[in-house]
Structure 1
C-alpha cells in the first residue's frame, strides 16, 4: 500500500519487507556463524574474537544450560555490560528456546529483585563486578542457577588473568559477595564442552526477549518480544541503513562502535544482532562513560557505524581528545533513545563531517519504528520516515486520525510491535487501540513530506492557563543558547496558572546568567512557554542510555 512517506525513501529501500529468510534469532546466529566464521565478530580490550570463536563458546554454553534442566520458555537473565559473554549467552539461549531477560547492571537490589521476580527468571549470568547486588536480593527470587562472569574470561592467557587481577586487586572493582552454588563462566564452558545439545524446535511466534521498560512511567514491565518481532526489526534496519553502509570500501569489514549497552534494546538489536546479520565487527565498549578510554579505543581502528544517544554524541563532540580520532571511515551515525538536538548535531557534524541520522522507537517495538534518511546531510528536527512494512498514524483522544500538521498521539503497526506486556493483560489492553494499533504515548505530527515529528510525551505535557506547553520545545530553544550544556523542563504547581514551567540548566563554557537565559527565552518563546523558575545543576538525572529522567526532577520538585 502506497503511503505519503514512500516517495521520500532513499533509492533502493523497498516499501515492504521481503519474505524473511528465517524467523528465529537462533537461525540468525547460525546463518552468521556459517557465512562469517573466519571474520572478526567483536573486538574487546584490544583482543579480536571471530564468529567461529563465538559459535564454539555458544555451543558449550548451550550444552551447559541444557544440562541444568533448562527448557524452552524458561527465563535467563543477563546482567552484564558490553562483554563478549553477552552475545555468547544470547546465541546459546536462542538455540534452546530460552527467553532472555536483559538486566541493567547498575540496578539497585530493589530494582533487580522486582525484575527477576516479575520475569520469573530461573537462571542468570552476572558479571562479578555487580554480583554483590544479586547477592543482596537473590533469596527473594526464583533463581536456581547463577553463572558468574569476569572481565577477562574471553581473553587469552595470560591477558585475561591480568585483566581480572587488575579489576579485583588494583582497581578494587569487585566488592565482596557471597553466592553459594554459583558457577564461574569458564567452568560452565568446560562442563558444556563435555556434552552435546538436544535440538529444540523454536518458532517465530515464540517469546525471545523480555525487555523491561525504563520505569519512567511507573513500575518497570516486560515487553514481550517474539523471535519474529526482533528478526523483522533487524532486517528492517539492515534495509534502511544499506545506502550508507554501501559506502564502506569493499576491502574493509564493517565495524560498529558498540557503546550502546547491549542490555538496552537499541544496542541489542542495532549493534549485536545487526552486526551478526551483516557480518560486521562490534567494538565492545565496557564503560561508555569513560570518554578518554572510549576515544582511545576509537583511535586504534577504523569504524563505520556509530549508534548512540544525543548525550554521548554531545560529550564526545565537546571533548578535546575527539579531534585526534580518525573519523574518515564513519559512514553512519544513528541517534536514538532520545531526541537529537540541533546544537549537538551541529557540533558532531563539525567534528566528523557526518550528520547524525535520528531514528525513533521504543522497547515495545524491538525498537525501531522510523528513521531519517541515512543519506541526509544535516539535522532535520524530525524522527524521519516509517521503516519498511511499518505504519504510523496520528490520532486524537477518540482514536480518530487527524490531518497532517495536527497534533495527536502517535500509534503504530508493524511486524516489530510486541505481543504485549508480560503477565499484565490489563496494561496490554490499554497499550493498543480497539483496532490493534500500538499506542506509543508520544505526541507527534505528520509532516507534509510523510515524515513525523515528536512534540513530547503525553504525560510530560504542561498546561499553563489552559495552554499546552511541550517540554522538548523549550529544551530545544534553551540548548541552542551558547554556554548551555544541557537543559530539562518540567511542570510545577502554580496557584495562578495551574502549572508553571520550571527549567533545569547544566552550564557549559561561558555559561550565561539567569537574566540572560530569561532574555533569550523572551526572544524565542511566547509568554506562556517561558520558564517561570530556573534552577542550575551540576548534572541531570539520566537513564542507563543517557535519557534525561524528568520524572525524577518532578519528584525532587515536590
Structure 2
C-alpha cells in the first residue's frame, strides 16, 4: 500500500524522514502476549527455539497453577537475563497473572518496597537473592518463593510436557489487562504496562527494522530483562521477527565478545555505558562483532558513536525509551537520514510534543527546551494503586509526562538533554501489611 504524502504543514513532520519500508500508520492486532508466543511457535519453531520455549512455558504455567497462581495475581521475577526469566515471564502471563520485574541487585529497601507495593504473592528468584528475600519477606504479601538456576539451564529440559492449551474465556488475560508492573525508580511508582502496550511496542520496534530477515537473525540481549526496553528487545519483538535471542546475564565485555563470535550475532542492543566499556577492549577483540549488522543503543556522545562506526561494520541506531511507554519512544532511522547525537524520530503510531517545565499543558514551539510528552498505544495505563500519580503523569488526551527535558526540531528530530528536576521524586506510600 502506498503511504500518504506528508507535507511541510503536517503536525508530524518526522514522517518525511522515515526509512524506506517503515509504515507511517501503525496497526496493532488485538492480541495478548501468550497469543504472540503461540503464533511464533507455529511460524518460527525450529531454529529460533520458540517451539521448545512454548513447551517449557506450558509446563511452567501448569506448575504455577498448582501453586495457586490465578488471573490477576502478581508474581515477582528477581532474576538476571537467563532462560528461566523468559520461561517464567511467559508462564505467568499465560495464567493471566502479572509480572513484577525486579532488579536482582536491588537493595533490601528497594526489594521490600517493590514486593510490598505490588502485593506479589510469589517470587521466582536465583539463589543469590535468598538472603535479601529472607530479610524483607515478613513485611510483604509473599507466601511462596521458588528458587531457580540462572546458569543457562533450560527448565524441565528433556522432560517437557505438551504445552497447555488455553481456551478463550479461560484463565488467560485480555489485551487491556496489566501484564507487567515496571518500577520507574527503585522506590517510586510502578507503571502498569498492559498486554496491548507491550504488543504495540513490539510491533513498533519490528516495523522500524524492515531489513530484518524473518527467522534468520540472532540477537544478543545485554540490557537487563527487568527493564522494559530489555523486555522489548529480548523477549517481545523477537516473537514477531523470529529472532533467536541469546540472553547474557552480565554485560561483561569479554563474555559479550566471546558469545558474539560463537553465536554469530547479527543484532546487538546495549546501554551507552556498556558500549563505552566494550570499546575499551583491544581492536582485534572487537573483530568478534564482525557479524553484527545492527547495533541499538541510547543517545551517545559523538566520540563513542564515531568509535563504534570505526570499529564495526554495523548500522548504529540511537534511540530513547522510558519505562512508562514500554521502552519504545524514539529511534533514529537507518540510512542517510540518521542524525547522530539526537534521540531520533517518534516511532510509528507515536506522537510527541514539548511542554513548558512546570506547566506541561503549555506546548512550546520547535527549538525550545521543555518536558517531553508522549502519546501512543505503548503508553502505560496508569500507576499501580496510585491514582494521584496517574493523574500527575498522564495528562488529558493520553499524553504521558516523561520527566525528560528535550528539544523538538522543526523536522521532528528529538534531542533529550536531561531530566526534569525533582520529577522522579515520589513519597513512599504506606500500605497495609498482611
* TM-score > 0.5 by shorter chain: yes
Q: Displacement of 1:329 after TM fit?
A: 2.3
Q: Is residue 334–residue 356 contact of structure 1 (8 Å, CA) maintained in 2?
A: yes
Q: Which residue of 2 aligns with 1:266?
A: 229
Q: Is residue 4–residue 450 contact of structure 1 (8 Å, CA) maintained in 2?
A: yes
Q: Which residue of 2 aligns with 1:523?
A: none
Q: Is residue 257–residue 288 contact of structure 2 (8 Å, CA) maintained in 1?
A: no
Secondary structure at the counterpart of residue 395 of structure 2 = coil
Q: Which residue of 2 aligns with 1:382?
A: 342
- Which structure would you say has the larger RCO, counting Cα contacts within 8 Å and 6 or more residues apart? 2
Residues 282-322 of structure 1, C-alpha deviations (whole Å, 9 max, x = no match): 1211121x222221111212111111111111111121166
Give the alignment of 1:341-420 within 5 angstroms: 341-376=301-336, 380-396=340-356, 397-398=358-359, 399-420=361-382
CA change 1:57–1:347 in 2 (3 A) is: same
Q: Is residue 309–residue 340 contact of structure 1 (8 Å, CA) maintained in 2?
A: no
Q: Is residue 66–residue 197 contact of structure 1 (8 Å, CA) maintained in 2?
A: no
In structure 2, what is the Cα distance between the partners aligned to 1:283 and 1:102? 19
CA change 1:146–1:195 in 2 (3 A) is: farther
Q: Which 5+ residue runs of structure 2 have no aligned equivalent?
A: 1-5, 425-434
In structure 2, what is the Cα distance between the partners aligned to 1:149 and 1:445? 45
Q: Displacement of 1:254 after TM fit?
A: 0.1
Q: Which residue of 1 aligns with 2:176?
A: 205
Q: Are 2:79 and 1:109 aligned?
A: no
Give the alignment of 1:288-367 within 5 angstroms: 288=251, 290-320=252-282, 323-336=285-298, 339-367=299-327
Q: Displacement of 1:95 after TM fit?
A: 1.2
In structure 1, what is the Cα distance between the partners aligned to 2:351 and 2:99? 28
In structure 2, what is the Cα distance between the partners aligned to 1:195 and 1:316? 40
| TM-score, reference length from structure 1 | 0.69
In structure 2, what is the Cα distance between the partners aligned to 1:130 and 1:253? 36
In structure 1, what is the Cα distance between the partners aligned to 2:165 and 2:340? 50
Q: Is residue 345–residue 355 contact of structure 1 (8 Å, CA) maintained in 2?
A: no
Q: Which residue of 2 aligns with 1:540?
A: none
Q: Which residue of 2 aligns with 1:431?
A: 393
Q: Is residue 80–residue 150 contact of structure 2 (8 Å, CA) maintained in 1?
A: no
- The range that moved more, 298-307 or 253-262, is 298-307
In structure 1, what is the Cα distance between the partners aligned to 2:26 and 2:163? 39
Give the alignment of 1:142-221 within 5 angstroms: 142-152=141-151, 154=153, 199-215=170-186, 219-221=187-189
Over alpha carbons, which structure has the higher Rg? 1
Q: Displacement of 1:326 after TM fit?
A: 3.5
CA change 1:376–1:328 in 2 (3 A) is: farther
Q: Which residue of 2 aligns with 1:68?
A: 67
Q: Is residue 97–residue 173 contact of structure 2 (8 Å, CA) maintained in 1?
A: no
CA change 1:321–1:77 in 2 (3 A) is: farther
In structure 2, what is the Cα distance between the partners aligned to 1:145 and 1:194? 26
Q: Are 2:54 and 1:94 aligned?
A: no
In structure 2, what is the Cα distance between the partners aligned to 1:98 and 1:150? 22
Q: Displacement of 1:384 after TM fit?
A: 0.8
- Among 223, 239, 242, the alignment partner of 2:210 is 242
Q: Is residue 292–residue 321 contact of structure 1 (8 Å, CA) maintained in 2?
A: no
In structure 1, what is the Cα distance between the partners aligned to 2:35 and 2:116? 30
- Among 224, 232, 238, the alignment partner of 2:200 is 232
Secondary structure at the counterpart of residue 288 of structure 2 = coil
In structure 2, what is the Cα distance between the partners aligned to 1:6 and 1:146? 48
In structure 1, what is the Cα distance between the partners aligned to 2:81 and 2:362? 43
CA change 1:100–1:205 in 2 (3 A) is: same
Secondary structure at the counterpart of residue 153 of structure 2 = coil
Q: Displacement of 1:460 after TM fit?
A: 7.5
Q: Displacement of 1:194 after TM fit?
A: 10
Q: Which residue of 1 aligns with 2:412?
A: 450
| TM-score, reference length from structure 2 | 0.88
Q: Is residue 286–residue 311 contact of structure 2 (8 Å, CA) maintained in 1?
A: no
In structure 1, what is the Cα distance between the partners aligned to 2:422 and 2:306? 27
Q: Are 2:52 and 1:57 aligned?
A: no
Q: Is residue 62–residue 197 contact of structure 1 (8 Å, CA) maintained in 2?
A: no
Q: Is residue 234–residue 247 contact of structure 2 (8 Å, CA) maintained in 1?
A: no
Q: Which 5+ residue runs of structure 1 have no aligned equivalent?
A: 41-49, 156-184, 462-548, 550-558
In structure 1, what is the Cα distance between the partners aligned to 2:140 and 2:226? 20
CA change 1:148–1:186 in 2 (3 A) is: farther
Q: Is residue 356–residue 379 contact of structure 1 (8 Å, CA) maintained in 2?
A: no
Residues 497-534 of structure 1, C-alpha deviations (whole Å, 9 max, x = no match): xxxxxxxxxxxxxxxxxxxxxxxxxxxxxxxxxxxxxx
